[in-house]
């Protein structure tokens, strides 16, 4: 089995390109087995005491050359952010907001005023002291419509820049425009990493933050490096540095890992067969992130094909989420049943999927589309996209729906296909707080509302949840919102798949939750 060498010269340099290309002949053999049968994939990465220092080499997709290091921007270099910055608040593994740069906070009885108290003595990488003015400036950047931050649609319904006040160097007061009883969870998003005051014009290149690493070099869509920040408030990281290599082709990234030329594959959810090859190799293995990938099939609600809710309901009745999980992810995950909230979330509403092809066909006949046909777009950008799309269209046939799969260019998938074609395969990382998930991806008019579904009742339910201070009543509102998505929404959620991350056997303490791994404790043998 042979493969053409990947074109890497523009992203990793000529010498590295030759090295990566040379191992292309290794290939990936589907269904790899050991002498004793199929390779069992590890449940978690190995933990232990790493050696101090060392360089972690991360291979990432070659993203847009317009990408930068401004956390709030839509084209941020995701892998660098957790190394360079801190937020006011982060989430623990249970999804509970815990201190980061803010050491504590409180809220007024009417949920209209929040007060955050900052850590004292924290410094940015350039020596400036971190204060509440930096925190206020960061949030104001997100609220600036000209920046078009994906987090704007989450924060702007409840606050404006005029409500931000640094009352002293360590105290930030936020006077809201509308009540919100769980504001800290919204400030845990990766777009909310704190940047220095007045740095908006140059932060995309400077990367100055308070994080455990400081920027040494960065080339958009290319190579970069970060170095350990000795004065980080939580302690010096174990590693000395992290190097980033941009490699567009998934197989080239995987081959580089197997050959020991990189230590970690970022934004690369390996398919089950490739993960077995990696796990069977001598230099690499797998770290499993349970239900880490939320796979969706958005049906564009503004398109001629899917503007009628009855057509969307027919599709949901006709397809088989369990079959998609079995085929596309080899059962490595959890059936989604069109509910975007993961089963591990405290607000999760269990609504079993009702498959009824006959009723689906009757609904389509009712709207005058007995021979309904459409096309779903997919690409090689993620190895699960195409098998998911194929399993999806096959499961529709019993209802008389004739769908076809169209393979699109991976390079332009999220600029020319996503949110533009009537149906497509895509995914999100899990780990968002439920309020952010529902507002950012499903609220009317949100820049990340990939199906363009708009429902005034749904929006009002979200508003009620934000204003509710009683936890049980707030949970009920979020469950009402989930029910509306399942019954009337335009986004299918067939499954939550385990993310299978390729790592070197020399890596210790790779531990991921939310949107990032533990940059302080990860290390090498």
51 in a structural domain:
no
User: If residue 323 lies in a helix (H) or strand (E), which one and from where to where?
Assistant: helix 321-328
Total count of domains within the chain: 3
> 39 in a domain, yes or no?
no
**Same-domain check for residues 192 and 228:** no
Angle between helical axes of 14-22 and 250-258 (0-180°, round to 10): 80
Among 175, 205, 235, give the residue marking a domain's end. 205
Could you tell me if 78 and 514 are in contact, meaning their C-beta atoms sit under 8 angstroms apart? Answer: no
The alpha carbon of 7 is separated from its chain's Cα centroid by a whole number of angstroms, namely 27
520: domain CATH number?
Answer: 3.40.190.10
Residue owning tokens 């503007």: 307
Helix (H) or strand (E) holding 134: helix 132-142
- Please report whether residue 47 resides in a domain: no
Per-residue model confidence (pLDDT) at position 40: 83
Confidence tier at 10 by pLDDT (50, 70, 90): very low
Q: Token digits for 224? A: 């970069």
The answer on 406 and 310 residing in a single domain is yes
Q: What pLDDT digit, counting tens, does each position of 418-441 carry?
A: 999 999 999 998 888 899 899 999
The reply to whether 176 and 68 lie within a common domain is yes
Q: 3 lies in a domain?
A: no
Token reading at 417? 């296909």
Do 68 and 127 lie in a common domain? yes
Beta bridge partners of 227: 214, 241
Q: What is the mean pLDDT of residues 69-83?
A: 88
Question: Does 510 lie in the same domain as 481?
Answer: no
User: Rounded mean pLDDT of 224-239?
Assistant: 97
- Looking at the fold, whether 475 and 330 belong to one and the same domain comes out as yes
**Helix, strand or coil for residue 224?**
strand
pLDDT for position 21: 39
**Pairing relation of β-strands 284-298 and 491-504?**
antiparallel
Quick one: 250 and 301 in the same domain? no
For 311-327, the pLDDT digits (tens) are 999 999 999 999 999 99
Asked if 76 and 189 touch (Cβ cutoff 8 Å), the reply is: no
Would you place residue 514 in the very low, low, confident or very high pLDDT band (cuts 50, 70, 90)?
Answer: low
Same domain, 395 and 247: no
Domain shared by 408 and 442, yes or no = yes
Give 119's contacts (C-beta < 8 A, 6+ positions apart): 99, 101, 102, 103, 130, 170, 233
The domain boundary residue, chosen from 205, 221, 249: 205
* pLDDT tens digit sequence for 459-513: 999 999 999 989 999 999 999 999 999 999 999 999 999 989 999 999 999 988 7
Q: What is the CATH number of the domain that holds 155?
A: 3.90.76.10
Residue 374: which domain range? Answer: 291-498
- Residue 53 inside a domain? The answer is no
Give the pLDDT confidence of 143-181 residue by residue, as tens digits: 999 998 989 988 999 999 999 999 999 999 999 999 999
Asked whether residue 397 is domain-assigned, the answer is yes
Phi, psi of 97 (to 5 degrees): -65, 130
Distance CA 182, CA 158 (A): 11
Percentage with pLDDT > 90 across the chain: 74
Q: Are residues 132 and 262 in the same domain?
A: no
Specify whether 170 is located in the same domain as 216: no
The CATH number of the domain holding residue 470 is: 3.10.105.10
* Within-domain flag for 11: no
- DSSP-derived letter for residue 123 is B
pLDDT in tens, 189-208: 889 999 999 999 999 999 99
318 and 432 in a common domain: yes
Residue 10: inside a domain, yes or no? Answer: no
Q: Which residue has the tokens 């190799």?
A: 281
Q: pLDDT band at residue 9, thresholds of 50, 70 and 90?
A: very low
In order of 83, 300, 386, the CA distances from 418 in angstroms are 28, 10, 15
* pLDDT tier at 37, thresholds 50, 70, 90: low
Mean pLDDT of 280-303: 95
CA–CA distances in Å: residue 226 to residues 112, 125, 237, 246, 309: 40, 12, 12, 15, 49
């Amino acid at each position: 089995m042979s493969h053409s060498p990947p074109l890497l010269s523009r992203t990793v340099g000529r010498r590295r390109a030759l090295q990566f290309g040379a191992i292309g002949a290794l290939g990936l053999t589907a269904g790899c087995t050991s002498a004793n049968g199929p390779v069992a994939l590890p449940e978690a990465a190995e933990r232990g005491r790493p050696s101090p220092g060392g360089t972690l080499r991360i291979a990432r997709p070659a993203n847009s050359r317009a990408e930068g290091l401004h956390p709030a921007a839509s084209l941020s270099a995701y892998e660098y952010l957790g190394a360079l910055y801190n937020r006011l608040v982060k989430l623990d593994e249970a999804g509970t907001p815990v201190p980061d740069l803010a050491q504590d906070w409180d809220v007024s009885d009417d949920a209209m005023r929040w007060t955050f108290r900052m850590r004292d003595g924290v410094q940015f990488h350039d020596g400036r002291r971190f204060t509440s003015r930096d925190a206020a400036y960061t949030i104001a950047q997100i609220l600036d419509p000209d920046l078009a931050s994906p987090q704007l649609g989450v924060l702007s319904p409840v606050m404006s820049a005029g409500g931000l006040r640094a009352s002293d160097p360590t105290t930030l007061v936020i006077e809201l425009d509308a009540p919100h009883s769980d504001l800290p969870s919204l400030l845990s998003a990766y777009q909310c990493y704190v940047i220095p005051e007045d740095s908006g014009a140059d932060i995309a290149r400077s990367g100055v933050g308070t994080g455990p690493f400081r920027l040494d070099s960065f080339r958009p869509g290319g190579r970069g490096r970060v170095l350990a920040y000795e004065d980080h408030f939580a302690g010096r990281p174990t590693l000395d540095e992290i190097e980033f290599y941009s490699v567009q082709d998934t197989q080239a990234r995987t081959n580089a890992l197997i050959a020991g030329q990189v230590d970690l594959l970022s934004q690369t959810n390996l398919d089950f067969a490739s993960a077995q090859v990696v796990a069977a190799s001598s230099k690499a293995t797998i770290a499993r992130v349970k239900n880490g990938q939320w796979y969706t099939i958005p049906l564009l609600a503004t398109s001629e094909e899917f503007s009628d809710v009855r057509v969307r309901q027919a599709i949901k009745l006709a397809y088989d989420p369990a079959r998609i999980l079995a085929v596309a992810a080899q059962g490595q995950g959890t059936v989604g049943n069109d509910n975007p909230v993961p089963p591990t979330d405290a607000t999760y509403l269990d609504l079993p999927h009702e498959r009824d092809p006959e009723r689906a066909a009757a609904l389509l006949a009712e709207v005058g589309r007995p021979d309904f046909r459409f096309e779903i777009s997919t690409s090689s950008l993620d190895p699960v996209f195409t098998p998911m799309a194929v399993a999806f269209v096959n499961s529709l046939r019993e209802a008389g729906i004739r769908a076809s799969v169209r393979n699109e260019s991976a390079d332009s998938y999220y600029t020319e296909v996503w949110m533009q074609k009537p149906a497509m395969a895509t995914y999100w990382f899990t780990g968002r707080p439920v309020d952010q998930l529902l507002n950012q991806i499903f609220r009317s008019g949100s820049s990340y509302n990939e199906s363009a579904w708009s429902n005034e009742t749904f929006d009002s339910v979200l508003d009620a949840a934000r204003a509710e201070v009683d936890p049980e009543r707030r949970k009920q509102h979020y469950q009402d919102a989930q029910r509306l998505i399942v019954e009337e929404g335009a986004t299918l959620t067939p499954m939550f798949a385990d993310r299978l991350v390729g790592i070197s056997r020399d890596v210790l303490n790779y531990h991921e939750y939310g949107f990032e791994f533990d940059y302080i404790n990860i290390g090498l043998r």
